[in-house]
Amino acid sequence: MIYKNGRYFFLSLIILSASFADAKEEENELTLQEEITEYIYHHVQDSHDFSLFSTKDKETGEKKYYGFPLPVILVDEGVKIFMSSNLDHGKKVVNASGKYYKLYHGKIYETDSKGYISYDDKGNVTNQMPLDMSITKSVFSMLLISLLMFWLFTSLAKSYKENNQIASGIGRFFEPIVILIRDEIAIPSIGENNYKKYMSFLLTLFFFIWFLNLLGLSPLGVNATGNIAVTFGLALVTFLITNFTANKTYWKHIFWMPGVPVWLKPLLAPIELLGVFIKPFSLMIRLYANILAGHIVLYSLIGLIFIFKNLVGSSLSLVLVFFISIIEVLVALLQAYIFTLLSALYFGFAVQEDDH
């Protein structure tokens, strides 16, 4: 009955059109949110190429990446080396010595000439994975920072030698930091008799983490210290140095601690031994979680600028991004300091004497 009246018909048509427009806008917004989530996920993950930025073709909707490729090194019945540009971000299949490989969700799988990817009942990829020894973006960043540190501190050492133990140039900025690590971290934590043999590692550790953290805040978009494999490697080196340089007093305090009733020592020994592994584990998780969370929060706030699409919301997001960026600069330094300080404390525990 209602549609017999023309006015009601057009009113219903307007309501249906408005509902369709709202649904379409909601669908577009959901697509935008998914795209932002994908971009954040892509940023925090490691990759086989160094992409500086990307654009999307308005006609085809395909992404175009701008950057430079990195070497892909696979161990699979021999060593296979090719550039990541051959993979074309997973769009192409590479034929290497009769075997086909495809990049899929950041990992390289063995496949066929058509790039077929198979799954099990739980949705997991069942294709074989070769041993991947590639120079990824994180590896390239660490090599770059290593070369920078080698040049920087070689120049600092030369300036000491040439200027009668006085730093010159950029060394004047880094000299107080080196002294700070020696006087405020190494000596109080390890002791004046033993700190010198650990100084080279502590200095390397501090500046390596600090520079990588700062590189992660640059427009290059590197998330090396937000990669748990990197923090695991750093914590593992601290673990090995601590236990291989430890004296008998250190092990006595773990397995047969003095000043404790004899019946209680067998009960405490497993707990103390567990602490040997918990200490480096806490180092690994602390650095990884703080840096990764900072990157996710920062990029989420940037994504809000595109979601709000208005002056008030976008301006507020931009202000928050600015303040969070300032905080992240401080966090980059703080995390390097904490990792170095705790490592020095563990070294101090390893070389302590009975009279301590």
* Residues β-bridged to residue 188: none
With a threshold of 0.85, does the pTM exceed it? no
Q: Which of 55-59, 246-250, 327-331, 335-339 has the lowest mean pLDDT?
A: 55-59
Is the residue at 71 inside a domain?
yes
Q: Is 350:279 a contact under the CB 8 Å cutoff?
A: no
Q: Are 191 and 337 in the same domain?
A: yes
Is the residue at 41 inside a domain?
no
| Mean pLDDT, range 74-87, rounded to an integer | 88
Q: Which of 126, 115, 58, 127 is nearest to 88 (CA)?
A: 115
Is the residue at 231 inside a domain?
yes
| Mean pLDDT, range 99-111, rounded to an integer | 88
Query: Which pLDDT band, with edges at 50, 70 and 90, does 17 fall under?
Result: very low
Q: Are 127 and 183 in the same domain?
A: no
Query: Which pLDDT band, with edges at 50, 70 and 90, does 333 fall under?
Result: very high
Is the residue at 148 inside a domain?
yes
Q: Are 106 and 125 in the same domain?
A: yes
Q: Are 285 and 215 in the same domain?
A: yes
DSSP H or E stretch at residue 189: helix 187-190
pLDDT value of residue 354 = 65
Which residue, of 132, 160, 178, is where some domain finishes?
A: 132
Q: Are 334 and 251 in the same domain?
A: yes
| Mean pLDDT, range 321-331, rounded to an integer | 89
The parent domain of residue 207 ranges over: 137-350
Residue 253, Cα to own-chain centre: how many angstroms? 35
Is pLDDT of 205 > 90? yes
Residue 15, Cα to own-chain centre: how many angstroms? 50
- Which range has the top average pLDDT, 118-132, 248-262, 294-308, 328-342? 328-342
Position with higher pLDDT, 76 vs 22: 76
Please report, rounded to a whole number, the percentage of residues in the chain having pLDDT higher than 70: 89
Is the residue at 43 inside a domain?
no
Is the residue at 39 inside a domain?
no
pLDDT value of residue 15 = 39
The whole-chain average pLDDT of the chain stands at 82
Is pLDDT of 325 > 80? yes
| Mean pLDDT, range 17-31, rounded to an integer | 45
Q: Are 100 and 127 in the same domain?
A: yes
Q: Are 146 and 121 in the same domain?
A: no
Taking only the tens place, the pLDDT of each residue in 178-202 is 999 999 999 999 988 889 999 999 9
pLDDT value of residue 184 = 93
Q: Which of 32-41, 242-251, 299-308, 332-341 has the lowest mean pLDDT?
A: 32-41
Q: Are 90 and 237 in the same domain?
A: no
Q: Are 100 and 161 in the same domain?
A: no
Which residue, of 81, 100, 132, is where some domain finishes?
A: 132
Count the domains in the chain: 2
Q: Are 124 and 222 in the same domain?
A: no
Is the residue at 7 inside a domain?
no
State which amino acid sits at residue 325: S
Which residue, of 66, 99, 132, is where some domain finishes?
A: 132
Q: Are 339 and 265 in the same domain?
A: yes
Q: Are 166 and 211 in the same domain?
A: yes
| One-character DSSP codes across 100-133 | EEEEETTEEEEE-TT----B-TTS-B-S---EE-
- Which range has the top average pLDDT, 33-42, 147-156, 205-214, 309-318? 205-214
pLDDT value of residue 170 = 77
Is the residue at 25 inside a domain?
no
Is pLDDT of 20 > 70? no
Q: Which of 305, 336, 344 is nearest to 322 (CA)?
A: 305
